[in-house]
Amino acid sequence: MNSSFLMVLAVFFPILCGLGILLAPQFQKRELLIKAEAVGLAVTAALAVLSLLGGDMQITFLRFGNDLKVYFRLDGLGRLFVVIISIVWVLSGVFSFEYMKHEKEEKRYFGFYLMVYGVLLALSYAGNLITFYVFYELMTLGSLPLVLHTKTREAIMAGLKYLFYSLFGAYLVLLGVYFLNRYAITLDFTPGGALDMARVSGHEGMLLVIVFLMILGFGVKAGMFPLHAWLPTAHPVAPAPASAVLSGLIVKAGILGVIRVVYYVVGAGFVRGTWVQTAWLVLALITVFMGSMLAYREKLMKKRLAYSTVSQASYIMLGLAFLQPEAMTGSLLHVVFHAFIKSCLFLSAGAIIYKTGKTNVDEMTGIGKQMPVTIWCYTFASLALIGIPPASGFISKWYLASGALASEMRVFSWLGPAVLLLSALLTAGYLLPLTIKGFLPGADFDYKSLTSAEPNRTMLVPLAVLAFLAVALGVFPNPLTSYIGQIIGTVL
């Protein structure tokens, strides 16, 4: 089968399956619903993997006039995101089979869950800025029901906040698309950029403002200050598997948008050394520190992890802002590592909530005695996020710090590594207490009151796989680092 056709199937098969689940009345039966969801996830993942086997390919399936088209083209960066999305989405989906038993409206959840999988694959396959924008908006609309799922007042307010912030960011991006369509040779994703410098001449200042607004617009989804507030509001109210993919993947859609604009449409050379780069670095550093500090002060488990995502996503933005090969390597590595780590952490929180009903960190003393496998998975993921060698987070942070030092950007070359180190210490401060109190509750603790609360294999296997990846990719980073180096070699 033609690889280009497989891309289209990988996108539209889960969207159509999700619509079928939402509309067909027979899926009210839980057993049939779970089977349909499992088949949808498995077939979509298989189609996505098969689409990677061909070389660079493209297919156009919608055209507006002579210049604007919606089309897919698979490149190295797209392949990386397809793999990350498929692994996390399938594992979180499997976890959901058991977890969603205590949630209502499973039919709606699983229908939209499948649809968003297809939309995220479309973002990875997008061959130009028009295609990316269309599916970026669809991602927001498709993921909104995951946030609103419980339909409580808190969930509705969080969903509206998520929607308004996302639409505001998307409109900033749309404004940029209008201008780039005028000043770029093409809106196709071209490694190194596609600006027409003859047209740009005399309008550089205006175009820099537009690029900065686009970074801010995509930065909304990535949780970058000052438009980050939706993230710690939305995560605590969504079901835990939805929080896992919101944090692990949907946040990365904003980062992918920034990469595509700066490195594939505008070109890093146009931004390097300008006020845009300086402002971008400042906002990223503020977000890294602020997110870590707020997570350290937060007691609600899922909200703590949400603030952590605010911080960790800006690690990636910081590396991208240096416009330097080593720093960009660290950013793309952290895209991969953070997706697995944070999904594992949110699913661990979900397992605790599902089995014990506890949501506050202070309530979880002795939880390691009740749920040893779950808390060990949480612990390994935590060590990876902190950056303890040889876990994966250490590798990405090493490249980020090395790239910052090599950038020779005066204050930022040393301030970047200093903030990363401080953030790592704060990360240890807000993640490890649960492990310590969970396994070592103290001599005065009433051990007799504890009962085993370990979840079943449907929940434990995804946790174990994600925890394994969080550590193993740090022990054996060379294949991934080499692949990312090839991507960076084409844009810098």
Distance CA 152, CA 195 (A): 47
pLDDT greater than 80 at residue 20: yes
The sign of the dihedral angle between the CA atoms of 334, 338, 341, 345 is: positive
Alpha helix (H) residue ranges in 185-229: 197-200, 204-221
The predicted model gives 183-193 an average pLDDT of: 90
Give the residue numbers spanning the domain of 419.
Answer: 272-492
Give me the pLDDT at residue 101, please: 86
Least reliable range by pLDDT among 226-240, 275-289, 390-404, 435-449: 435-449
Residue 6 lies in a domain: no
Give me the pLDDT at residue 365, please: 85
In this predicted model, what pLDDT tens digit does every residue of 28-74 receive, in sequence order?
888 888 998 999 999 999 999 988 887 667 888 777 766 778 889 98
SS3 255: helix
- Percent with pLDDT over 90 in the chain: 69
Residue 492 lies in a domain: yes
Tokens of 463: 């946790």
Q: What is the mean pLDDT of the chain?
A: 91
Give me the pLDDT at residue 145, please: 92
SS3 321: helix
CA-nearest of 291, 319, 290 to 401 is 319
Query: Could you write out the DSSP letters of every residue in 258-315?
Result: HHHHIIIII-HHHHTTSHHHHHHHHHHHHHHHHHHHHHHH--BHHHHHHHHHHHHHHH
Give me the pLDDT at residue 136, please: 94
Residue 108 lies in a domain: no
Distance CA 274, CA 130 (A): 26
Residue 434 lies in a domain: yes
Tokens of 388: 């303890």
Query: Could you write out the DSSP letters of every residue in 384-414?
Result: HHHT-TTSHHHHHHHHHHHHHHHHT-THHHH
Distance CA 404, CA 344 (A): 29
Distance CA 459, CA 465 (A): 11
SS3 483: helix
Distance CA 449, CA 351 (A): 20
Residue 165 lies in a domain: no
The count of structural domains within the chain is 1
CA-nearest of 486, 286, 281 to 400 is 281
In this predicted model, what pLDDT tens digit does every residue of 248-292 receive, in sequence order?
999 999 999 999 999 999 999 999 999 999 999 999 999 999 999
Amino acid at 402: S
356: exposed, middle or buried (Cβ count in 10 Å: 0-12, 13-18, 19+): middle
The predicted model gives 458-478 an average pLDDT of: 95
Residue 162 lies in a domain: no
What's the Cα-to-Cα distance from 178 to each of 53, 169, 213, 255, 362, rounded to whole Å?
35, 15, 12, 20, 50
Identify whether the C-beta of residue 235 lies closer than 8 Å to the C-beta of residue 164.
no
CA angle 89, 93, 96 (to 5 degrees): 145
Distance CA 173, CA 220 (A): 11
Distance CA 115, CA 11 (A): 9
SS3 327: helix
Distance CA 482, CA 492 (A): 15
Tokens of 415: 């301030």
Give me the pLDDT at residue 1, please: 54
Amino acid at 255: I
Identify whether the C-beta of residue 251 lies closer than 8 Å to the C-beta of residue 262.
no
Give me the pLDDT at residue 388, please: 92
Amino acid at 479: P
In this predicted model, what pLDDT tens digit does every residue of 448-462 receive, in sequence order?
777 778 889 999 999
CA-nearest of 215, 210, 250, 216 to 231 is 250
As a three-state string, the secondary structure of 71-114 is EEEECHHHHHHHHHHHHHHHHHHHHHHHHHHHCCCHHHHHHHHH
pTM for the model: 0.94
Identify whether the C-beta of residue 363 lies closer than 8 Å to the C-beta of residue 299.
no
In this predicted model, what pLDDT tens digit does every residue of 106-137 receive, in sequence order?
899 999 999 999 999 999 999 999 999 999 99
In this predicted model, what pLDDT tens digit does every residue of 247-259 receive, in sequence order?
999 999 999 999 9
The predicted model gives 417-421 an average pLDDT of: 93
Residue 363 lies in a domain: yes
Distance CA 132, CA 204 (A): 25
Helix axes 30-51, 76-99, angle to 10 degrees: 170
Residue 25 lies in a domain: no
What's the Cα-to-Cα distance from 106 to each of 21, 28, 97, rounded to whole Å?
10, 9, 9
Distance CA 428, CA 397 (A): 15
441 or 211, greater pLDDT: 211
